[in-house]
Amino acid sequence: MFNIGFAELILVLLIAFLVVGPKDLPKVARWLGRLVKKIRQMIREVKEELGWDELENDTRDMRRDIDQTVKEADVTKDLREASRDFQKSVNEAKKAAQKKD
Protein backbone atom coordinates (compact mmCIF):
# COMPACT_ATOMS: atom_id res chain seq x y z
CA MET A 1 0.00 0.00 0.00
CA PHE A 2 2.68 2.49 1.00
CA ASN A 3 5.49 0.77 -0.90
CA ILE A 4 7.71 0.66 2.17
CA GLY A 5 10.61 -1.76 2.23
CA PHE A 6 11.85 -3.76 5.17
CA ALA A 7 14.70 -1.36 5.97
CA GLU A 8 12.36 1.65 5.98
CA LEU A 9 9.90 -0.18 8.22
CA ILE A 10 12.64 -1.03 10.73
CA LEU A 11 13.79 2.60 10.70
CA VAL A 12 10.25 3.90 11.33
CA LEU A 13 9.74 1.40 14.15
CA LEU A 14 13.08 2.36 15.72
CA ILE A 15 12.24 6.07 15.61
CA ALA A 16 8.75 5.37 17.03
CA PHE A 17 10.36 3.30 19.77
CA LEU A 18 12.69 6.17 20.68
CA VAL A 19 10.04 8.91 20.48
CA VAL A 20 7.12 7.14 22.15
CA GLY A 21 8.98 4.77 24.38
CA PRO A 22 8.63 1.05 24.89
CA LYS A 23 5.81 1.40 27.43
CA ASP A 24 3.38 3.37 25.23
CA LEU A 25 4.34 1.92 21.84
CA PRO A 26 1.60 -0.79 21.81
CA LYS A 27 -1.04 1.84 22.70
CA VAL A 28 0.13 4.12 19.90
CA ALA A 29 0.20 1.20 17.44
CA ARG A 30 -3.39 0.25 18.34
CA TRP A 31 -4.50 3.88 18.01
CA LEU A 32 -2.86 4.17 14.57
CA GLY A 33 -4.45 0.89 13.50
CA ARG A 34 -7.90 2.11 14.52
CA LEU A 35 -7.30 5.45 12.80
CA VAL A 36 -6.31 3.77 9.53
CA LYS A 37 -9.36 1.50 9.76
CA LYS A 38 -11.69 4.50 10.28
CA ILE A 39 -10.13 6.41 7.39
CA ARG A 40 -10.52 3.42 5.05
CA GLN A 41 -14.14 3.01 6.15
CA MET A 42 -14.83 6.72 5.54
CA ILE A 43 -13.27 6.54 2.06
CA ARG A 44 -15.35 3.44 1.26
CA GLU A 45 -18.55 5.19 2.42
CA VAL A 46 -17.79 8.31 0.37
CA LYS A 47 -17.17 6.17 -2.72
CA GLU A 48 -20.46 4.35 -2.19
CA GLU A 49 -22.43 7.56 -1.64
CA LEU A 50 -20.99 9.31 -4.67
CA GLY A 51 -21.31 6.21 -6.85
CA TRP A 52 -17.59 6.06 -7.62
CA ASP A 53 -17.58 2.29 -7.24
CA GLU A 54 -20.20 1.95 -9.97
CA LEU A 55 -18.35 4.45 -12.13
CA GLU A 56 -15.10 2.57 -11.61
CA ASN A 57 -16.74 -0.76 -12.49
CA ASP A 58 -18.42 0.77 -15.56
CA THR A 59 -15.11 2.28 -16.66
CA ARG A 60 -13.35 -1.06 -16.19
CA ASP A 61 -16.05 -2.85 -18.23
CA MET A 62 -15.85 -0.20 -20.93
CA ARG A 63 -12.07 -0.56 -21.09
CA ARG A 64 -12.42 -4.34 -21.42
CA ASP A 65 -14.96 -3.89 -24.25
CA ILE A 66 -12.69 -1.42 -26.05
CA ASP A 67 -9.71 -3.76 -25.75
CA GLN A 68 -11.80 -6.64 -27.11
CA THR A 69 -13.02 -4.49 -30.02
CA VAL A 70 -9.46 -3.45 -30.85
CA LYS A 71 -8.36 -7.09 -30.85
CA GLU A 72 -11.25 -8.04 -33.11
CA ALA A 73 -10.56 -5.14 -35.47
CA ASP A 74 -6.87 -6.01 -35.82
CA VAL A 75 -6.22 -6.68 -39.52
CA THR A 76 -2.50 -7.33 -39.37
CA LYS A 77 -3.02 -11.09 -39.58
CA ASP A 78 -5.18 -10.69 -42.69
CA LEU A 79 -2.65 -8.31 -44.21
CA ARG A 80 0.18 -10.77 -43.61
CA GLU A 81 -1.79 -13.57 -45.24
CA ALA A 82 -2.67 -11.35 -48.21
CA SER A 83 0.98 -10.29 -48.55
CA ARG A 84 2.08 -13.92 -48.41
CA ASP A 85 -0.48 -14.91 -51.05
CA PHE A 86 0.54 -11.98 -53.25
CA GLN A 87 4.22 -12.88 -52.95
CA LYS A 88 3.41 -16.49 -53.78
CA SER A 89 1.47 -15.36 -56.88
CA VAL A 90 4.34 -13.11 -57.98
CA ASN A 91 6.83 -15.97 -57.57
CA GLU A 92 4.59 -18.33 -59.56
CA ALA A 93 4.21 -15.72 -62.32
CA LYS A 94 8.01 -15.30 -62.44
CA LYS A 95 8.49 -19.05 -62.72
CA ALA A 96 5.89 -19.25 -65.47
CA ALA A 97 7.53 -16.40 -67.34
CA GLN A 98 10.95 -18.06 -67.06
CA LYS A 99 9.57 -21.33 -68.39
CA LYS A 100 8.12 -19.57 -71.44
CA ASP A 101 11.45 -17.95 -72.28
Summarised one tens digit per residue, pLDDT across range 5-18 is: 888 878 888 888 88
Confidence band (pLDDT; 50, 70, 90) for 53? confident
pLDDT of 2 over the 70 cut: no
The pLDDT value given to residue 65: 93
**Amino acid in the structure at residue 26:** P
Confidence band (pLDDT; 50, 70, 90) for 39? very high
Q: For residues 29 and 70, what is the distance between their CA atoms, to the nearest angstrom?
A: 49
The residue among 39, 70, 44 whose CA lies nearest residue 56 is: 44
Confidence band (pLDDT; 50, 70, 90) for 30? very high
